[in-house]
Structure 1
Amino acid sequence: MQTLPHCETLLLVKQGPALHITINRPDSRNAMSLQMVAELATVFAEVESDTSIRAVVIRGSGGHFCAGGDIKDMAGARNQKAGEGEADPFYRLNRAFGQMIQQVNESSKIVIAITEGAVMGGGFGLACVSDVAIAGPTARFGVPETSLGIIPAQIAPFVVERIGLTQARRLALLGLRIGAEEACALGIVHQAATSDEELNDMLTQTLERVRQCAPNATAETKALLHRVGHESMNGLLDSAAEKFAEAVQGNEGNEGTMAFMQKRTPAWADTE
């Protein structure tokens, strides 16, 4: 990514091998507008081909991660009428978000979510498709759609994948809101910080671990993990063995082996 794309709802800063995305709609607690969905999709599409970026950090401005869907967009969709042969406006609105969150889920980069304040609806979904999620002391998580008379249509499958069906049922069917400690116990987030300083320290430590791991091996491992449960085990293990053989004989495998024998850090860990 030679030049960071222009965004109106996101702040983008590249620091070393990490791209930091700050959702920047603080007046609406970073509610997810159609424009934000489109900009996130664009950024993640461009990140895929940028080998200098190994991690993407997502957080929100103004003390909140993301309060869910933008009510203004929903009101706008209500005033639209689908033309002949066109999909319903609410379908298009909802499906656009689903395509974006699937794109984030399947990104080859390590996605890190720093969650604070409101982590609701679509924001909850974003946390559930991150590879690493860290909660700040103010974080409140929820799937409130049923309490609003709607359904968590696009995030529900990712919530089930994240925490299992039984806990997803409880949260979604009751429209519950929970704190960082319970979110950590359920596996929505991996760590819960007790202060802003600790939150930033946890992020720094996570990014240092990203630096220590080979980028191509990391991407291949993530892709392999996503295949579990969707393919026959025998076929998956055959394919995994082929990928392993390629990795061992590839540049990263050779460098990692030599670095271990020479008791030095591998080249990818020295990349700034």
Structure 2
Amino acid sequence: MTRLPHCDTLRLDLHGSTLFITLNRPEVRNAMSLRMVAELSTVFTLIETDPAVRAVVLRGAGGHFCAGGDLHDMAEARGRPQEGGQPDPFHTLNRAFGRLLQQVNAAANIVVTVLEGTVMGGGLGLVCVSDVALAGVQTRFALPETSLGVIPAQIAPFVVQRIGLTQARRLALLGITVDAHEARALGLVHQVAEGDAELDTQLQQVLARVRRCAPDATARTKALLHRVGQEPMADLLDDAAALFAQAMRGPEGAEGTLAFIQKRPPGWAENDH
């Protein structure tokens, strides 16, 4: 396992093959600062090639997931002059978060978001790049940028991918807040829990399912899903057939098939606790 870094804005806890990342700025409802963006990017870079980390659980400290961008960073960017030939500080700040969303979206690990309290702006962006999203019943979701006179520049494309253009228009253009049950109906989240105990049970069930699936097959499947709509279907299916043949002849395919015949858990499930 890669040595985890010290972080000022995150709490990192590794349990078995699951890395729990807690956004740890509860005094500002875990608002996304540039330091937090940089630390999250560093962690995802470190674990990208580490087969020991199969799942990443993102949640927030203090009863909230994330209240969006950090206003202190924005105030500092406003106070810095845009020097000739240099990028606008607001551009730099905004694009850094977009790169993080791209990184989390493409991560080979299974990314699970556990949502409570406030999920706004950039927090909602993280939800949209997670593989599984679980929400407490009191959670509230919003894209408030247009009501503040700005735009959800890096977030909007991922919202469209998550819930479709029609619903994204309503959320982004009106800046409305939706509750957990509506978020589930929209496809933002997958499950809603009525209380803390149920939320924890749902999370443990998801992680148990992750352990039952072969690590390499899962990563390759995730990458394949991301390619849908990005290239001609015939080419994609041709390549998918080649990937399937490789998987069938590879060690995971052999072990999975044998385990099924022998009516036992495959090795990756037996050895991963």
Aligned to 1:192: 192
SS of the counterpart of 1:95? helix
User: Are the equivalent residues in 1 in contact too, given 2:10–2:21 (CA < 8 A)?
Assistant: yes
**How much has 1:84 moved relative to structure 2?**
2.7
What are structure 2's unaligned runs of at least 5 residues? Answer: none
User: Are the equivalent residues in 1 in contact too, given 2:2–2:46 (CA < 8 A)?
Assistant: no
Aligned to 1:170: 170
What are structure 1's unaligned runs of at least 5 residues? Answer: none
Aligned to 2:147: 147
Aligned to 2:43: 43
Task: Output the CA distance in 2 between the equivalents of 1:2 and 1:54.
Answer: 13
**How much has 1:16 moved relative to structure 2?**
1.0
Aligned to 2:128: 128
Aligned to 2:214: 214
Letter in 2 for 1:57: V
User: Are the equivalent residues in 2 in contact too, given 1:5–1:43 (CA < 8 A)?
Assistant: yes
Task: Output the CA distance in 1 between the equivalents of 2:112 and 2:190.
Answer: 11
Aligned to 1:20: 20
**How much has 1:137 moved relative to structure 2?**
1.9
**How much has 1:47 moved relative to structure 2?**
0.8
Task: Output the CA distance in 1 between the equivalents of 2:95 and 2:206.
Answer: 32
Letter in 2 for 1:39: E
User: Are the equivalent residues in 1 in contact too, given 2:59–2:115 (CA < 8 A)?
Assistant: yes
**How much has 1:83 moved relative to structure 2?**
2.6
Letter in 2 for 1:149: G
**How much has 1:248 moved relative to structure 2?**
0.3
Letter in 2 for 1:21: I
Q: Does 1:56 align with 2:53?
A: no
Deviations 1:43-87 (A, max 9, x none): 000010110000000000000000000000000000001333210
Task: Output the CA distance in 2 between the equivalents of 1:254 and 1:2.
Answer: 28
**How much has 1:231 moved relative to structure 2?**
0.4
User: Are the equivalent residues in 1 in contact too, given 2:2–2:47 (CA < 8 A)?
Assistant: no
**How much has 1:215 moved relative to structure 2?**
0.4
Task: Output the CA distance in 2 between the equivalents of 1:110 and 1:188.
Answer: 16
Q: TM-score, normalised by structure 2?
A: 0.99
Aligned length: 272
Aligned to 1:102: 102
Letter in 2 for 1:237: L
User: Are the equivalent residues in 2 in contact too, given 1:137–1:196 (CA < 8 A)?
Assistant: no
Deviations 1:102-141 (A, max 9, x none): 1000101100000100000000000010000000122100
**How much has 1:254 moved relative to structure 2?**
0.3
Letter in 2 for 1:23: L
User: Are the equivalent residues in 2 in contact too, given 1:137–1:180 (CA < 8 A)?
Assistant: yes
SS of the counterpart of 1:265? coil
Runs of 4+ displaced beyond 4 Å: none
Q: Does 1:204 align with 2:204?
A: yes
